[in-house]
């Protein structure tokens, strides 16, 4: 995201110009389609393109879908390359890709946090708030919001000096707010 670039409402692909609806609620609908196990992959592509491109004439292709997904929807936090003293790239330590937020399961906490932090009712922003704006605001939530507190609970790992009572409380909170039925490790 660059602040001097306009938010994407159209794009060109293989010589054709497309209008695209990247309102955050529309993108969340696309995620629902992608997670629907009853749909075949080609159906997911077709429905997702229909949601994003509307009734324009286009050929529903996987290549078009991949371009849209990679260019406008998917954001990957890229880890900076670290170098040793001789300038050689250091080996990348694989993160276990642990999720700390789920847009579906955390919807009420996200809603409450946007209301608290920005005075923004996300229901009133449907069809208006662009996906990139939504992501930026979500990533920038202040630490005193419920969503950020839940994320810190999910990220918590026990350390020396913490009381047994505190550790038990945090493990209990991690169980309450766990994603995908994850169980926190039992480490003292």
* 118 and 69 together in one domain: no
- Domain stop point among 73, 90, 122: 73
Res 171: pLDDT = 95
36 part of a folded domain: yes
Residue 84 lies in a domain: no
The alpha helices in the chain, defined as continuous H runs, are: 24-34, 41-53, 62-68, 107-118, 131-139, 146-155, 164-176
Span 105-146, pLDDT tens digits: 999 999 999 999 999 999 999 999 999 999 999 999 999 999
Same domain, residue pair 69 and 121: no
Looking at the structure, do residues 68 and 23 belong to the same domain, yes or no? yes
Within-domain flag for 187: no
Distance of CA 24 to the CA centre of its chain: 11
100 located within any domain: no
In a domain, 159, yes or no: yes
- Containing structural domain, residue 64: 10-73
Let me know if residue 185 belongs to a domain.
no
In the predicted structure, residue 156 carries a pLDDT above the cut 50: yes
Note the pLDDT tens digit of each residue in 58-108: 777 899 999 999 999 986 654 455 555 656 555 554 455 578 899 999 999
> How many domains, in total, are found in the chain?
2
pLDDT of residue 79: 47
Gyration radius from the chain CA atoms: 20
Q: What is the pLDDT of residue 72?
A: 94
Which of residues 21, 51, 73 is at a domain's end?
A: 73
Q: Is residue 83 part of a domain?
A: no
Find the largest Cα–Cα distance for the chain: 63
Looking at the domain assignment, is residue 85 inside a domain? no
């Amino acid at each position: 995201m660059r602040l001097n670039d306009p938010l994407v409402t159209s794009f060109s692909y293989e010589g054709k110009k497309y209008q695209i609806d990247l309102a955050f609620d529309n993108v969340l609908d696309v995620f629902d389609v992608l997670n629907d196990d009853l749909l075949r992959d080609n159906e997911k592509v077709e429905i997702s393109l229909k949601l994003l491109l509307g009734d324009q004439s286009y050929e529903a292709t996987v290549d078009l879908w991949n371009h849209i997904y990679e260019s406008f929807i998917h954001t990957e936090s890229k880890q900076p390359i670290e170098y040793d003293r001789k300038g050689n790239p250091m080996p990348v330590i694989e993160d276990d890709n642990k999720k700390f937020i789920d847009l579906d399961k955390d919807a009420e906490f996200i809603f409450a946090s946007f209301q608290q932090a920005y005075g923004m009712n996300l229901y009133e922003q449907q069809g208006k708030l662009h996906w990139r704006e939504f992501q930026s605001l979500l990533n920038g939530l202040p630490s005193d919001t419920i969503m950020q507190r839940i994320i810190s609970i999910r990220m918590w790992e026990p350390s020396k000096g913490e009381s047994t009572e505190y550790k038990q409380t945090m493990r209990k909170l991690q169980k309450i707010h766990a994603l995908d039925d994850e169980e926190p490790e039992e480490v003292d």
